[in-house]
């Protein structure tokens, strides 16, 4: 897509799943004519991805950054110390996020509550705040927030995760309203079931439990969501794909899942 050409695109959670697929999809759509800032905690994964992307598209420019979005003090220094070539960000993809556990209220672990809110909510808010002045200065830029079907409809065992994603939805909506007199776009993409490392993380590396989530179904692939992100980003400037809810065909809500 021509409209992605030469853009500086920051993707959080680029070491796996939807973030990683988005890095691939953007690079391909822009035929390597793009600058990516790939952020996550696992730097080794980012390096592997970078080598792979460079092999197929030698012209792509990539800056890897070890970033934990849940550490508030690290956000501004990270944005302020980007190499010159990557400093003028055009697109922020707030993708880093997680569910931790499926416990019910009363049995919630403090580390899970904090892990989810600090990453999914505070990390996303803090990073948006740090990048917004760059967008305001030039009166352009796109913010893509990854919400979830879980932010539309809650389920037992999802109190914290669902409320964190509901927060993403309402943060995105407020921001879009605040930016109404600018050319800055706020896009929200809300996936249903996507087979990534999401369930492995939720069930604390229990591969059996993670596999069970998708048994008897054909879940979405990370690239299915990446395609939608790229579609949104490559619309004309006056077109805002404000919200999208994306299911695999066996799913119709958080709790309506056909297994067979
Ligand atoms: P993955 O677990 O495969 O990827 C999550 C990514 O987030 C990883 O790259 C991870 O990198 C990164 N991440 C986690 N914590 C932090 C942190 N504190 N700082 C920086 N990066 C972090 O899952 P998905 O790709 O599925 O998840 C991506 C987003 O999509 C999340 O926001 C999730 O809630 C959302 N989503 C997923 C759905 C699904 O069914 N899979 C459905 C709906 C929404 P690292 O560990 O290296 O830091
Ligand atoms: C992830 C989808 O339904 O497991 O956001 O919460 S769900």
We report the CATH number of the domain holding residue 169 as 3.40.50.720
Q: Say how many domains are in the chain.
A: 1
Determine if ligand 2 sits within 6 Å of the CB of residue 199. Answer: no
Angle, in degrees to the nearest 10, between helices 72-80 and 124-138: 30
Give the integer Cα–Cα distance in Å for 111 and 100: 9
What percent helix, strand, coil does the chain show, rounded to 5?
A: 45, 15, 35
Q: Give the pair of three-digit tokens for residue 28.
A: 């391909």
Decide if 77 is inside a domain.
Answer: yes
Decide if 251 is inside a domain.
Answer: no
Decide if 69 is inside a domain.
Answer: yes
Give the active site residue among 7, 35, 161, 214: 161
Closest ligand 2 atom to residue 198 Cα is: 1
Report ipTM (2 d.p.).
0.99
Give the integer Cα–Cα distance in Å for 47 and 90: 22
Decide if 252 is inside a domain.
Answer: no
Decide if 240 is inside a domain.
Answer: yes
Decide if 259 is inside a domain.
Answer: no
Tens-digit pLDDT string for the chain (260 aa)? 689 999 999 999 999 999 999 999 999 999 999 999 999 999 999 999 999 999 999 999 999 999 999 999 999 999 999 999 999 999 999 999 999 999 999 999 999 999 999 999 999 999 999 999 999 999 999 999 999 999 999 999 999 999 999 999 999 999 999 999 999 999 999 999 999 999 999 999 999 999 999 999 999 999 999 999 999 999 999 999 999 999 999 999 999 998 87
Determine if ligand 2 sits within 6 Å of the CB of residue 150. Answer: yes
Tell which residue, 14, 207, 202, 11, has the closest CA to residue 115: 202
Determine if ligand 2 sits within 6 Å of the CB of residue 95. Answer: no
| 165 catalytic residue (yes or no) | yes
Decide if 57 is inside a domain.
Answer: yes
Q: Give the pair of three-digit tokens for residue 5.
A: 């050409």
Closest ligand relative to 198 C-alpha: 1
Q: Give the pair of three-digit tokens for residue 32.
A: 């390597």
Which residue owns the Cα nearest ligand 2 atom 7?
150
Decide if 224 is inside a domain.
Answer: yes
Determine if ligand 2 sits within 6 Å of the CB of residue 16. Answer: no
Provide the residue range defining the domain that includes 117. 2-246
């Amino acid at each position: 897509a021509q409209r992605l050409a030469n853009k500086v695109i920051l993707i959080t959670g680029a070491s796996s799943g939807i973030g990683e697929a988005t890095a691939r999809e953007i690079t391909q759509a822009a035929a390597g004519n793009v600058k990516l800032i790939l952020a996550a905690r696992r730097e080794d994964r980012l390096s592997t991805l970078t080598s792979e992307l460079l092999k197929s598209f030698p012209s792509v420019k990539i800056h890897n950054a070890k970033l934990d979005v849940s550490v508030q003090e690290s956000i501004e220094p990270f944005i302020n110390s980007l190499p010159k070539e990557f400093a003028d960000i055009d697109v922020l993809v707030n993708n880093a996020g997680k569910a931790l556990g499926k416990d019910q209220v009363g049995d919630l672990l403090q580390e899970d509550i904090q892990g989810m809110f600090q990453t999914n909510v505070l990390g996303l808010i803090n990073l948006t705040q740090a990048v917004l002045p760059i967008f305001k200065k030039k009166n352009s830029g796109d913010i893509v927030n990854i919400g979830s079907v879980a932010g539309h409809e809650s389920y037992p065992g999802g109190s914290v995760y669902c409320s964190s994603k509901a927060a993403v939805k309402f943060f995105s909506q407020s921001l879009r309203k605040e930016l109404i007199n600018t050319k800055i776009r706020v896009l929200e993409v809300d996936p249903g079931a996507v087979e990534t490392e999401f369930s492995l993380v939720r069930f604390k590396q229990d591969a059996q439990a993670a596999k069970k989530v998708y048994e008897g179904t054909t879940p979405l692939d990370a690239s299915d969501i990446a395609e939608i992100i790229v579609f949104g980003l490559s619309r004309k400037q006056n077109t805002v794909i404000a919200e999208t809810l994306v299911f695999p065909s066996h799913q119709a809500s958080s709790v309506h899942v056909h297994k067979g």
